[in-house]
Amino acid sequence: MTMTRRILGIGLLALAATGCGDRSKPAAVSTRPFQGMALRVGIVGDSAISPTISAQRGEWEERTGAKAEILTQAIDPASESLEAADILVFPGDRAGDLIDADALAAIPDSAVKPPVVPSEDDAPAAVPDDPFDFPDVLALYRDKACRYGDQRIAFPLGGSALVLVYRRDVFENEDLAAPKTWEELDTLAKSLHGHDLDGDGTPDGGIALVTAEDDERLGVSTFLARSAALGQHPDQFSFIFDDDTMEPEIDAPPFVETLTQLRALGKFGPKGLSAEEARQAFRDGKVAMLIDRAEKYGSWNDRKKPVPTGVAALPGSERVFDPDRGTFEAATPLNRPSYLPRGGGWFAGIGKKSDAQSREAAIDFLRHLTSRENSARLLGDRDFPMLPTRTSQLGSGVLDPRSAPGVNPVEWAKAVAESLSASRVVPGLRIPQADAYLDDLAFDHGDFAASSPESALKAVAESWNSRTARLGLKRQLWHYRRALNRTTPTDTPPARDAK
């Protein structure tokens, strides 16, 4: 635009503002709706997501005239610093902590509906194309993981799911297929164990199984995912606690059997691995299979010498435990609920201490951040990879194939789609102190010198009962039911000293 045209445009706006020209219709003046406002975005958990969020601010700030300041220091839900944030970014397993601290505002249904533009002359209101496109969000996130009880508490940023990773060349040479059941996986690991997979003259392992204590809790997630296949009955809402009593079910038969099976499976690969060590073993060709978070695809191969890598959804079970009868029964079709670590992934909610105008701006920013276009950009961040939360993104595969050398993009996309759009999905624990409950499970699952599976899990159940009692039984039960999206007598938890 030339300077003359720019001045002319300004002059015309000024004339319109003073009432000159056509007085029958008010002139439309483009404004920045949140001019001069500043939103503070706090990160709960891993502050490494900060650059990912920060990279998407520019367009929104230009359009609205507001600023979104990313607080670089991670926020502890137990601290008063929560009050400093208008927006809270958090992993799903911290949702209970934030609700317990009364830190998240309920998000009204109007926030996820397309905007309506008023029309003239009593004509029907116009509904423009909505870049946010809420119906495109996967049902798992739209109706489950973003809700707590009957309240919507967050917008989805990115997901997380477990998959089976395997050497395609090894499977094709042996004429093998990805296992459909966990028992088939056990058999495959045993049959491949002791083979020279990388041609260095030494025998290698069947699977790199994370069994040791690990900051990522990948071993715990693997244990719970396999337990879900045996223990998440299609007719039951709850999984690891009784949702009527808050009594732990972690020492029930499905979990005991799973721990027994994982100890046996651990024989067919390196011992005592952390998540990164397991990925390294697969990368170095020392094992044929790996169970990992799907978003970690960039860690499965050496970029200089990648090998053909297949990906499949985790197996299911031909049996499932009925807690009402206390017995296992046949599962037809396979019982294959999808367990999601970290409470389902990463989310963003609105700070409850924000004023009305800040909340309005926060909703606008979160709609921008998680819109069709920008959510794809979030997934494309190599430094903080996440999984799709939208139906339209499930078939697109790895957004940047260069970051996933050797990985079959079609198989990866199919495995992720099966995991995130399964008929039954179990987001990881979301109650207050979920991380501490899960840490009680972070013992070495492959240690045969330790106590029996029954004794080990009974000790976990006792620890959970003690933790629940300290936090308040009725309060924790309220949270557990809300985290399952069940109804509760009240919208607020019982007092902290309730027992």
Which residues lie closer than 8 Å to 13 by C-beta, 6 or more apart? 27, 29
pLDDT at 180 over 50: yes
Token pair for residue 53?
């969020």
Q: Average pLDDT in the 87-104 region?
A: 96
pLDDT score of 449: 56
| 139-173 residue pLDDT tens | 999 999 999 999 999 999 999 999 999 999 999 99
Q: At 83, is the pLDDT very low, low, confident or very high (cuts 50, 70, 90)?
A: confident
* Largest Cα–Cα separation, the chain: 89
On the question of pLDDT at 389 being above 90, the answer is: yes
Tell me what pLDDT residue 133 has. Answer: 93
What pLDDT score does 12 carry?
31
Q: What is the pLDDT of residues 277-307, one digit of tens each?
A: 999 999 999 999 999 999 999 999 998 889 9
Residue 447 has a pLDDT of 64
pLDDT at 114: 83
Which whole number is the average pLDDT over 307-336? 96
| Whether pLDDT at 352 is above 70 | yes
User: Residue 21: pLDDT band by 50, 70, 90 thresholds?
Assistant: very low
Specify whether the backbone of 122 is left (phi greater than 0), alpha (psi in -120 to 50) or beta.
Answer: left
The whole-number average pLDDT for the span 80-102 is 91
Stated pTM of the model: 0.89
Q: What percent of the chain has pLDDT over 90?
A: 73
> What pLDDT band is residue 35 in, cutting at 50, 70 and 90?
very high
pLDDT band at 498 (very low <50, low <70, confident <90, very high): very low
More confident residue, 127 or 113: 113
Average pLDDT for residues 295-323, to the nearest whole number? 95
Indicate whether 183 pLDDT > 50: yes
pLDDT band at 472 (very low <50, low <70, confident <90, very high): very high
Mean pLDDT over residues 250-261, rounded? Answer: 96
E strands within 351-477?
A: 425-427
Residue with tokens 């979160």: 366
Domains of the chain: 32-159+345-396 (3.40.190.10), 162-342+402-472 (3.40.190.10)
Handedness of CA 77, 79, 83, 84 (dihedral sign): negative
What is the per-residue pLDDT for 124? 59
Residue 462 carries which side chain, given as an amino acid letter?
E
Q: How high is the pLDDT of residue 445?
A: 64
For residue 126, is pLDDT > 70? Answer: no
DSSP category for residue 290: E
| Interstrand relation of 151-152 and 309-313 (parallel, antiparallel or unpaired) | unpaired
8 pLDDT above the threshold of 90: no
- The pLDDT, as a whole number, for residue 13 is 34
- CA–CA separation, 342 vs 384, rounded Å? 14
Query: What is the predicted pLDDT for the residue at 448?
Result: 56
- Please compute the mean of the pLDDT values over residues 396-414 and round it to a whole number: 86
Per-residue pLDDT at 128: 58
Q: Answer yes or no: is pLDDT of 251 > 50.
A: yes
Residue 201, C-beta contacts closer than 8 angstroms, at least 6 positions apart: none
Q: What is the pLDDT of residue 358?
A: 95
pLDDT at 24 over 80: no
Predicted local confidence at residue 176, as pLDDT? 96
Strands (E), 44-190: 67-70, 87-91, 147-148, 151-152, 155-159, 162-167
- Which tens digit of pLDDT belongs to each residue from 106-123? 999 999 988 766 666 666
Beta strands 327-335 and 317-322: pairing type? antiparallel
Q: Average pLDDT over the chain, rounded to whole?
A: 88
Alpha-carbon span 354 to 357, nearest angstrom: 8
51-60, 175-184, 309-318, 438-447: range with lowest mean pLDDT: 438-447
Please state the rounded mean pLDDT for residues 400-416: 90
Residue 15: is its pLDDT beyond 70?
A: no
